[in-house]
Amino acid sequence: MAETDGCYGFLCFLGGCTALYFLLSWSWGCWKGFKSYLLSKIWQTDVRKFGQWAVVTGATAGIGLAYALELARRGLDVVLISRSGEKLRSVAKKIESQYGRQTRVIQADFSEGDSIYPAIAQQLKGLEIGVLVNNVGMTYAGKLVHFLDVPDPEQTITKVINCNILSVTQMSRLILPHMVERGKGLIINMSSETASQPQPLITVYSATKIFVTYFSRCLHAEYRSRGITVQCVSPFVVSTNMTYNIPVNPLVVSAASFARDALNTVGYSSFTSGCLTHALQHIALSIIFPAWLRLSPFCLRRMEKLAQNIKPLIEERVAQNYRKED
């Protein structure tokens, strides 16, 4: 009888400890979320403390454009880097007239590989760069396909890796040493919700984005003691050209809204979904759509069927985007 009572008491103690652990974990997660997405709206980090200039890659559209405008609004001069000279000049003019900040433009195609970085380094020379936003990225035209069915794979795969991985590492290599010398700086690297779990049918894109996540978190651990903040931003769906300007709704945010909320989280979190809406979607998907389910044959078949069903819609939106650009 005494042995049974002892065993029962131990199980009660173990259950209580387990419940306490999950309660504390849940409470800590709620507190971090409250700080990152609600408190940060009231007390924002002054990005001007990092330095005079911000550098934004992929700065002429979508999230990159929104970050450039928001950083200028918050008092920074901005270096805009993208492949379209005409769009760069248009964005620069808008920043100068609307916010009265200085701008510089650098025309570069990040999908070309390592040949572009010496010229970028030369044009950045002498600037006090406090913020780097590694935003530029690409996928394979929004298609859900098997690895061997990637359109024009010999070029496309290399371009995606150059744009999504090489750009982040090389731009960080160029700018980080000067931040370390001054003992302050902020690097923001754009990952994706597709990196939170393995995602078949966008295999290369998902894999490149988990590289961005790991690279960012490791870099933050290495250099935070030297005054450098490296933040990884992992958004869900934002209404941009990459998502074919899907209408804003309760689950999809605009690029301007996302950039504003994501910049608010600087100083509160080094790894963020960017906004409360996306953070809640991340939690929900982690519970109802875990990795084992995403990788299962059943789920893969359903995704293949979905890819076929939405193919006409994707092609229509691609054509619409091309017409807008023309």
List, for residues 259-316, the tens digit of each pLDDT value: 999 999 999 999 999 999 999 999 999 999 899 999 999 999 998 998 888 777 776 7
Q: What is the pLDDT of residues 169-191, one digit of tens each?
A: 999 999 999 999 999 999 999 99
User: Binning pLDDT at 50, 70 and 90, where does residue 41 land?
Assistant: confident
Q: Where are the domains of the chain?
A: 45-325
- DSSP annotation of 193: G
CATH architecture of 45-325: 3-Layer(aba) Sandwich (3.40)
Q: Are strands 185-190 and 53-57 parallel, antiparallel or unpaired?
A: unpaired
Phi and psi of 57, rounded to 5°?
-95, 150
This prediction's pTM: 0.89
How much is the average pLDDT of 44-58? 96
How much is the average pLDDT of 23-37? 75
Q: What is the pLDDT of residues 79-88, one digit of tens each?
A: 999 999 999 9
| Integer Cα distance of 236 and 32 in angstroms | 19
| Contact indicator for 156, 79 with CB cutoff of 8 Å | no
The Cα-based distances of 15 to 3, 5, 28, 223 in angstroms read 18, 15, 20, 40
Q: What is the pLDDT of residues 196-213, one digit of tens each?
A: 999 999 999 999 999 999
Q: Closest Cα to residue 135, out of 98, 90, 168, 113?
A: 168
Annotated catalytic sites, by residue? 205
Residue 5 has pLDDT above 90, yes or no: no
The Cα-based distances of 229 to 173, 240, 274 in angstroms read 15, 27, 16
